[in-house]
Amino acid sequence: MKESEYQRRRECVSCSLKKNSLAIIFSARAQIRSNDTEFPYRQDSNFYYLTGFKEDNAILILRRGKRTTESYLFVQKKVKELELWTGKRVGVKAAKNSFKHDNIFISDRFEEKFLSFMKEHQYIYYDFTFEDKQVDFIREKTKHLSAHFNIATLIAKERLVKSPAEIKLIKKALEITKEAHHYAKDYASELSKESELQAGIEYIFKKNGAYSDAYTSIVACGNSANTLHYISNDKKLVDGELILIDAGCEYEYYASDITRTIPVNGKFSKAQKELYEMVLDVEKKIISMVRPNILRSSLQEKSEELLCKGLVSLGILKGDVKKLLQKKKHKKYYPHGIGHWMGIDVHDTSPYKDEKAKEIPLMPGMLMTIEPGIYIDKDDKNVPKRYRGIGIRIEDDILVTHEGYENLSKHIAKEISEIEGRNS
Ligand code: GLY
Ligand code: MN
Ligand code: MN
């Protein structure tokens, strides 16, 4: 991503501040895994969106005066002894060459600069939800100001519509994720455990330059697929069962989010095929509805109607579709939403409603998943035996365009003939 894109984003956010405002955005803190070991560091999504800066202990200040806007970056200072343990730091001098701010200081100077800037401003913006002693410091020092606003809300709005450069990164993430899902369908029959398959998928992510998974991969064989957030991935791959794989890599801070459901032995049984075709048909129909101005709630409603009809046609639900929908009987088998915004976060923090609590319609440049699913527990005696213990979800990443939509993950096999064929 070019520095000019980060500059443009800072400018957009700065211009949406009230005149005479100061906005503070913090980098993520390192997270402890256990005792004195840390999780791999990942920058805070909002901070990254505005700076492209990947180090800890950094702060961004945006100022909006009467006529001008300014941007200040604070970065941790270079300390040789510490760099020996945790790696090189960018430092102020190099940061000044690569990052275009009105000025760049070491983080130690934040409090001093903040206090001096504050004298000239009337309003303050920061992320109230951030728990940190520096946030406590800001809260304390700005008690007297007339108004406090949450900066995260403004940034979330900016993140709603993606730029061409962002779409390019998500396409790259999906290229890698495609390879991983194709590996899964081609090699699952040779593996014995869910965790082994997960490792193979994540190996492909890393081998191709993805920093990590965009979220913890779900590799759920058979009835495990009926636990929606199954991430233990610790069971055997059983011949004759399906595996629901919800896995996507993160590439240069951008997520992909893909679910495919594949047979362990490479061939769907008749009952699996019937359920799979039904979910796939609904998924394709909902994707084809995506276009500017449509509401996400309309897609949700239609997906519930179509899945309910499908459940009746397979004898899983019995009765009149309208009445079943009214009584929400389908919710037992389709309990989640049709999709969500995605971007730097797999569940992007962008709003679904505007300030007046009115739903925001889809617009060109927005990106959402479409992911209908049906989950039938192995012990559900109300369902024909042949369908019990099957969970199916199919998920693609859909960009809203002026003409309608572009399915960014259309190259990832999902037709039964494609899944049963070989790609690698
Ligand atoms: N992978 C998370 C989701 O599909 O929402
Ligand atoms: Mn999703
Ligand atoms: Mn997913």
CA dist., res. 285 & res. 289, Å (int): 7
Find the 257 Cα to ligand 3 centroid distance in Å.
Answer: 5
Q: Determine the pLDDT at residue 130.
A: 81
Comparing CA positions, the residue from 268, 260, 173 lying closest to residue 219 is: 260
CA dist., res. 29 & res. 187, Å (int): 39
Which residue's CA is the nearest one to ligand 1's atom 5? 347
Tell me the average pLDDT of the chain: 96
Q: Which residue has the tokens 């520095």?
A: 3
The tokens describing 197, both together, are 């398959």
Nearest ligand 1 atom, CA 214: 1
Residue ranges, comma separated, of all CATH 3.90.230.10 domains in the chain are 164-420
Nearest ligand 1 atom, CA 246: 1
Q: Determine the pLDDT at residue 108.
A: 96
Comparing CA positions, the residue from 169, 171, 175, 237 lying closest to residue 204 is: 175
Which residue's CA is the nearest one to ligand 1's atom 2? 257
Q: Which residue has the tokens 């006529």?
A: 67
Phi, psi at 386, each rounded to 5°: -60, -25
pLDDT at residue 372 tops 90:
yes
Catalytically active residues, by annotation: 36, 229, 246, 257, 336, 340, 347, 371, 375, 393, 395
Q: Rg of the Cα trace of the chain?
A: 24
pLDDT at residue 413 tops 80:
yes
Using most ligand atoms within 8 A of CB, pick from 395, 397, 398, 409 the residue to mutate for ligand 1: 395
The topology (CATH level 3) of 3-158 is: Creatine Amidinohydrolase; Chain A, domain 1 (3.40.350)
Find the 258 Cα to ligand 1 centroid distance in Å.
Answer: 8
Find the 257 Cα to ligand 2 centroid distance in Å.
Answer: 5
Nearest ligand 1 atom, CA 371: 4
Q: Determine the pLDDT at residue 133.
A: 83
CB distance 349 to 152 below 8 Å: yes
- DSSP-derived letter for residue 345 is S
Using most ligand atoms within 8 A of CB, pick from 198, 201, 215 the residue to mutate for ligand 1: 215
Q: Determine the pLDDT at residue 18.
A: 96
Q: Determine the pLDDT at residue 145.
A: 83
Which residue's CA is the nearest one to ligand 1's atom 4? 257
Find the 220 Cα to ligand 3 centroid distance in Å.
Answer: 13
Q: Determine the pLDDT at residue 128.
A: 83
Better-scored residue on pLDDT, 422 or 43: 43
pLDDT at residue 146 tops 80:
no
CB distance 197 to 272 below 8 Å: no
Using most ligand atoms within 8 A of CB, pick from 244, 245, 371 the residue to mutate for ligand 1: 371
- The DSSP secondary structure of 34-102, one letter per residue, reads ETTEEPPP---HHHHHHH----SS-EEEEEE-SS-EEEEEEEPPP-HHHHHHH----HHHHHHHHS--S
Find the 32 Cα to ligand 1 centroid distance in Å.
Answer: 25
- Residue 406 — very low, low, confident or very high, per pLDDT cuts 50/70/90? very high
Residues with Cβ within 6 A of ligand 1? 215, 246, 257, 340, 346, 371, 395
Q: Is 12 helix (H, G, I), strand (E, B) or coil?
A: helix
Q: What is the pLDDT of residues 104-117, one digit of tens each?
A: 999 999 999 999 99
Q: Determine the pLDDT at residue 129.
A: 83
Report the pLDDT averaged over residues 262-289: 98
Nearest ligand 1 atom, CA 257: 1
Find the 398 Cα to ligand 2 centroid distance in Å.
Answer: 11
Q: What is the pLDDT of residues 319-336, one digit of tens each?
A: 999 999 999 999 999 999
Q: What is the pLDDT of residues 73-92, one digit of tens each?
A: 999 999 999 999 999 999 99
- Residue 253 — very low, low, confident or very high, per pLDDT cuts 50/70/90? very high
Find the 216 Cα to ligand 2 centroid distance in Å.
Answer: 12
Q: What is the pLDDT of residues 214-224, one digit of tens each?
A: 999 999 999 99
The pTM assigned to this predicted structure is 0.96
Distance of CA 146 to the CA centre of its chain: 35
Per-residue burial over 174-192, b = 16 or more CB atoms within 10 Å of its CB, e = otherwise: bbbbbbbbbbbbbebeebe
CA dist., res. 69 & res. 101, Å (int): 11
Q: What is the pLDDT of residues 93-141, one digit of tens each?
A: 999 999 999 999 999 999 999 999 999 889 999 998 887 888 889 989 9
How many CB atoms are closer than 10 A to CB 206? 13
The residues, ordered by sequence, that sit 6+ positions from 252 with a Cβ below 8 Å of its Cβ are 1, 169, 172, 211
Ligand nearest to the CA of 213: 1
Question: Percent of the chain, pLDDT > 70?
Answer: 100
CA dist., res. 288 & res. 12, Å (int): 32
Residue ranges, comma separated, of all CATH 3.40.350.10 domains in the chain are 3-158
Q: What is the pLDDT of residues 338-369, one digit of tens each?
A: 999 999 999 999 999 999 999 999 999 999 99
Ligand nearest to the CA of 258: 3
CB distance 355 to 205 below 8 Å: no
Q: What are the CA-CA distances from residue 131 to residues 118, 139, 263 (Å)?
A: 21, 11, 45
Q: Determine the pLDDT at residue 144.
A: 85
Nearest ligand 1 atom, CA 347: 5
pLDDT at residue 411 tops 80:
yes
Instruction: Please give the CATH superfamily to which domain 164-420 belongs.
Output: Creatinase/methionine aminopeptidase superfamily (3.90.230.10)
- Residue 337 — very low, low, confident or very high, per pLDDT cuts 50/70/90? very high
Instruction: Reduce the secondary structure of 171-234 to three states and give it as a string.
Output: HHHHHHHHHHHHHHHHHHHHCCEHHHHHHHHHHHHHHCCCCEECCCCEEEEHHHHHCCCCCCCC
CB distance 102 to 72 below 8 Å: yes
Which residue's CA is the nearest one to ligand 1's atom 3? 257
